[in-house]
Structure 1
Amino acid sequence: MASLIFKLLFLQLVLVLIQHAYSGSIIRSLPGFEGPLPFELETGYIGVGEAEEDQMFYYFVKSESNPIEDPLLVWLTGGPGCSSFSGLVYENGPLAFKVETYNGSVPTLVSTTYSWTKVANIIYLDQPVGTGFSYSRNPLADIPSDTGSAKRVNEFLRNWLAKHPEYFSNPFYVAGNSYSGKVIPAIVQEISNGNYICCKPQINLQGYVIGNPVTYYDHDKDSRIPFAHGMGLISDELFESLKRSCGGNYNTVDPLNTECLKLVEDYHKCVSGIYEELVIAPKCETTSPDCYTYRYLLSNYWANNKSVRRALKVVKGSKGKWERCDYAVHCKKDIISSIPYHMNNSIKGYRSLVISGDHDMTIPFVGTQAWISSLNYSVIDKWRPWMVLDQVAGYTKTYANKMTFATVKASGHTLEYKPEECSIMFKRWISGQPL
């Protein structure tokens, strides 16, 4: 009898140890970075879904300030199919690539001054499965969907926290940009419902941050024409004709409306030479080191290097060619509009920060302002400039539903175009200060 009790106690201890064992590996150094990392990095996988067959890969960077008390964020890059590593090295993380012509060796990484990890712990998560280094053990797994991604991320977070219980009480936020802006409000709702209905550990959910977010894609795309007119990319005459013939609907045009179709074609001719993600930047070949987007190739060279994969503890054979944005990752886009999720999250009292680079034509601020206005919340801090070092960094407006909208002057589709200003904005907002 005593032997049986001992075995049961031993089994219970083993289960506890497994539950609280590290889910990842502490990374002290990385190929391409000189010397030890000046911040704490963990990488690893968390299993979700049936039999944990979906293995979600993450990079976790501890706050460089006070990790035990500072907010905890999960960062999701868009696509769908773009790795969160993109956020880590191009937008708001503590590392960046030195932009130089690739010579066959491991690209060089350097420290940044603008990382959000100065004041927050961040989990950079590759999702949906198939993105980055995330993979499925089931070759016949269902195609991911928007709503399915919301459930998977919620499950990931609860499993991650179960293995990192020291972060249970940290204020928690969901953050990301572009296409993830459609999924993030659904994730917030999923976490909130889980906290209320069933699930442990509880997540200390406080709100969310979205940048140039896809919200209602047809309407987002429709806003490109008034944006192009406001930027002087199309004439007054063409704009007025488009409004008259198309009635504000420029993307799902009735095939019988030949006049509208012809005018939309004229619009496309006018803007075909424009780099949509930042209209003031040149549109050029990605492979040219002189082009801004050349830096994206460096992450491909880096992440496909065998020494890098060993350093990151990537499971051997789990991923073929790594791509920063793998648009072959299929995802059922079953959330047509995220506006209802925003409304529900607002009713529950969650804070939100909506950021728009004001020179982005992919998801223009014009469309983002329109859906925010449709929520019909009263304004508590009217439109005004927000400043950095006595210079206008953008404009902001705050609503009674704890939603703050902010533009970033001369910025584009992601935070990378004005990282210093976006960092200052985030630090003010996350600490409860006015922008």
Structure 2
Amino acid sequence: MISLLPVLNILYVDAPVGTGYSYSKTQEGYYSNDEQLVEHMYDFFHKWLVDHPEFRSNPLYIGGGSYSGIVVLPLVQKVYEDYETGRSPILNIQGLVLASPRLDSFMDNNTKVEFAHQRTLISNELYESIKSNCNGDYVNLDPNNTKCMSDYEAYTELVRYINEYQILEPSCVIAPKENQRILSQELNYIHQTKFRCRDDLYAIGELWANDPHVQKALQVREVNSNNYSFN
């Protein structure tokens, strides 16, 4: 096994406030939007480097996955602009890393039909028909376009029970509390635990995140007996 830790310093940030172990002392502190999150993350990086000047010269790569793609791009742009003007402390930005990012809501949703066709979840005939009748737009559907609506209903029915994020895995709901209780008991015999769905890992993650030994090792601050959730 090759580890990157000897050559990299990885800083994980729970953002926006309320995710992971992050919290706010006031209810208003949980109110945020994408623009505010960019500003908060930007301020955080500067304050962190002020407190840890030994890392200032390190090459900086900012990364994020899923919805964070919407935030990472403007954040990196803002950091890069300051790098060009020489604002202190300088964030030595070198690039960005995105994992399955959300970049454009329309594109993300509109390409689902094409993806279903590429993975043979729908037939060539249905794909050609829906593409023609809906003019390639499967987000802004015209209810008066009966041919398009009929094709879209046929498509929806075919993928109804497909896990759109992992098409080879079962389509499951987020693990209910009862499932968490069962998995909690089975953790004592982890080699016997049967993970029924990928979502079972959320239950395992919550048990791990709320374990007092884990929180002590990570130096998590106890705040009003928080129960951390992955849902």
Q: Give the alignment's TM-score, normalised by structure 1.
A: 0.46
Matches within 5 A, 1:189-268: 189-197=77-85, 199-268=87-156
| Alignment-mate amino acid for residue 136 of structure 1 | S
1:140 to 15, 20, 28: 28
1:130 to 5, 11, 18: 18
Aligned to 2:183: none
Matched, 1:301 2:207: yes
Deviates more, 1:125-134 or 1:279-288: 279-288
Matches within 5 A, 1:9-20: none
Aligned to 1:290: 196
Identical positions, percent: 35
2:219 to 313, 319, 334: 313
> How many angstroms apart in 1 are the aligned matches of 2:102 and 2:119?
21
- Aligned-pair CA distance for 1:116: 4.2
> How many angstroms apart in 2 are the aligned matches of 1:214 and 1:316?
33
Asked if structure 1 preserves the Cα contact closer than 8 Å seen for 2:38 and 2:75, the reply is yes
- Aligned-pair CA distance for 1:201: 1.0
- CA RMSD, 1 decimal: 2.2
| Alignment-mate amino acid for residue 223 of structure 2 | G
2:74 to 186, 194, 199: 186
Matched, 1:167 2:60: no
- Aligned-pair CA distance for 1:289: 2.1
The unaligned stretches of length 5 or more in structure 2 are 180-193
> How many angstroms apart in 1 are the aligned matches of 2:33 and 2:156?
31
| Alignment-mate amino acid for residue 106 of structure 2 | D
1:180/1:167 Cα in 2 relative to 1: closer, same or farther (>3 Å)? same
> How many angstroms apart in 2 are the aligned matches of 1:142 and 1:199?
29
What secondary structure does 1:279 align onto? coil
- Aligned-pair CA distance for 1:295: 2.4
> How many angstroms apart in 2 are the aligned matches of 1:228 and 1:235?
9
Larger RCO, structures 1/2 (Cα 8 Å, 6+ apart)? 1
What secondary structure does 1:123 align onto? coil
1:10-39, Cα deviation, whole Å (9 max, x unpaired): xxxxxxxxxxxxxxxxxxxxxxxxxxxxxx
> How many angstroms apart in 1 are the aligned matches of 2:158 and 2:226?
40
Count residues in correspondence. Answer: 213
1:134/1:203 Cα in 2 relative to 1: closer, same or farther (>3 Å)? same
Q: Give the alignment's TM-score, normalised by structure 2.
A: 0.83
1:318/1:182 Cα in 2 relative to 1: closer, same or farther (>3 Å)? farther
Asked if structure 2 preserves the Cα contact closer than 8 Å seen for 1:133 and 1:319, the reply is no
| Alignment-mate amino acid for residue 125 of structure 2 | E
Asked if structure 1 preserves the Cα contact closer than 8 Å seen for 2:69 and 2:103, the reply is yes
Asked if structure 2 preserves the Cα contact closer than 8 Å seen for 1:135 and 1:319, the reply is no
- Aligned-pair CA distance for 1:197: 4.8
1:23-64, Cα deviation, whole Å (9 max, x unpaired): xxxxxxxxxxxxxxxxxxxxxxxxxxxxxxxxxxxxxxxxxx
Asked if structure 2 preserves the Cα contact closer than 8 Å seen for 1:135 and 1:318, the reply is no
- Aligned-pair CA distance for 1:262: 2.8
| Alignment-mate amino acid for residue 143 of structure 2 | P
- Aligned-pair CA distance for 1:211: 1.5
1:381-419, Cα deviation, whole Å (9 max, x unpaired): xxxxxxxxxxxxxxxxxxxxxxxxxxxxxxxxxxxxxxx
1:42-99, Cα deviation, whole Å (9 max, x unpaired): xxxxxxxxxxxxxxxxxxxxxxxxxxxxxxxxxxxxxxxxxxxxxxxxxxxxxxxxxx
- Aligned-pair CA distance for 1:313: 2.2
| Bigger share in strand | 1
